[in-house]
Amino acid sequence: MSAAADSGPEYAIDVRGLNKNFGDKHVVKDVSLQVRRGEIFGFLGPNGSGKTTCMRMMCGLLTPDSGSGSCLGYDIFKQTAEIKRRTGYMTQRFSYWEDLTIRENLDFVARIYEMPNRGRAVDQALEHLGLASRSGQLAGALSGGWKQRLALAACLLHDPQLLLLDEPTAGVDPTARRDFWEELHRLAARGISVLVSTHYMDEAERCNQLAYIAYGSLLAHGTAREVIDSQQLSTWVVSSGDLVQLSERLRGAPGVAQTVAFGTTLHVSGSDVEALQATFKDLALADPSMRVAPIETGLEDVFVYMMGRSADNDGAGGGAGP
């Protein structure tokens, strides 16, 4: 292994001022991000926000238009081949060969990486991810959860120091998602860094650090608690006999920044506590069945709030691209 990797930089990813344009669309705008070694870093944002483009630039698959940075100690402009050899990248869609068996897929990937003793490496990957008993099954016949395991096994074959996972659990059942995240934490405990994009708030809460990107701009980053606190929202749980009518009456009322349905209640958030309380008092006079109680603002409340604000602030009125 080269001196750059042996020196063990503090950050697996350290990028500053990344920009990318596709035609006349400025899809990534001055993004700076740091991911520590052995850290699980969550990447949040609406579809078309630029998350995938950022990830591709960070791991040497796409050249930024401007900016600077390193990945695993290697320059993201000049040393992309070194980065690729030490990084595992899992795309949004299953990208392996459905007419090959699980073992054949892994063996093919091992040949691409020109791995010595690839038979042993494949056997170890099959065993480690619980795929050994299904090794002869065609990939195309696998469920979403098993395809996910195969994709992760392929990412880990060449013993990467960094995993970039692009919405890896989309369309996977809750049990498979839980098992997948347990594996990610085991990998992080071994010192492997993980950058993962997700739309699931329970997954985001399992990350060490989070970043929220919308329309190409990084809007917030930190721990889950720091991201929540940064928005300075107060949230109340509200119930009534007619939630649909109540939601309509609350929308646009003084102090109300958003209303979100949660089962048989509404979460109502805003930054002006006094205005919110006055609105609730006025509505209670017309609806005696209404019940209101303050609750702790959650990550999902903040995520929805930031999505709404970023959409309002986007002059183009559309997504940022890939």
Q: What is the spatial distance between Cα 29 and Cα 5, in angstroms, rounded to a whole number? A: 29
Tokens of 97: 């060969």
Q: Confidence class of residue 10 from pLDDT cuts 50, 70 and 90?
A: confident
Largest Cα span, the chain: 76
Contacts 24+ apart (CB under 8 A), 224-230: 224/299, 227/299, 227/302, 228/297, 228/298, 228/299, 228/301, 228/302
Answer yes or no: is pLDDT of 145 > 70.
Answer: yes
Contact 205/194 with Cβ under 8 angstroms?
no
- Please state, as a whole number, how many other Cβ atoms lie within 10 Å of the Cβ of residue 38: 16
This model's pTM is above 0.75: yes
Give SS3 for 175: helix
Helix axes 144-156, 102-112, angle to 10 degrees: 30
Bigger pLDDT: 5 vs 199: 199
Sort 10 into a burial class: Cβ within 10 Å, 0-12 / 13-18 / 19+: exposed
Q: Confidence class of residue 311 from pLDDT cuts 50, 70 and 90?
A: low
Q: pLDDT tens digits, residue range 51-68?
A: 999 989 988 889 999 999
Q: What is the spatial distance between Cα 237 and Cα 231, in angstroms, rounded to a whole number? A: 18
Q: Which residues contact 33 (CB under 8 A, 6 or more apart)?
A: 13, 14, 15, 54, 58, 211, 218, 221
CA atoms within 13 A on the CB side of 246: 28
Sort 59 into a burial class: Cβ within 10 Å, 0-12 / 13-18 / 19+: buried
Where b means 16+ CB within 10 Å and e means fewer, 87-117 reads bbbbbeebebeeeebbbbbbbebbeeeebee
What does DSSP assign to residue 290? Answer: -
Q: Confidence class of residue 8 from pLDDT cuts 50, 70 and 90?
A: low
What does DSSP assign to residue 42? Answer: E
Does 3.30.70.920 match the CATH number of domain 232-296?
Answer: yes
CA dihedral 318, 205, 143, 165 (to 10 degrees): 60
| CATH for the stretch 3-228 | 3.40.50.300
Q: Confidence class of residue 321 from pLDDT cuts 50, 70 and 90?
A: very low
Q: pLDDT tens digits, residue range 223-272?
A: 999 999 999 999 999 998 778 888 888 988 999 999 988 888 999 999 99
Q: Which sequence spans correspond to the domains of the chain? A: 3-228, 232-296
Strand partners, 196: 42, 165
Phi-psi group of 222: left, alpha or beta (phi > 0 → left; psi -120 to 50 → alpha; rest → beta): left
Contact 48/217 with Cβ under 8 angstroms?
no
pLDDT of 186 reads 92
pLDDT of 255 reads 94
pLDDT of 46 reads 84
pLDDT of 265 reads 92
Answer yes or no: is pLDDT of 287 > 90.
Answer: no
Q: Confidence class of residue 313 from pLDDT cuts 50, 70 and 90?
A: very low
User: What are the two backbone dihedrals, phi and then psi, of residue 244, each rounded to the nearest 5 degrees?
Assistant: -65, -50
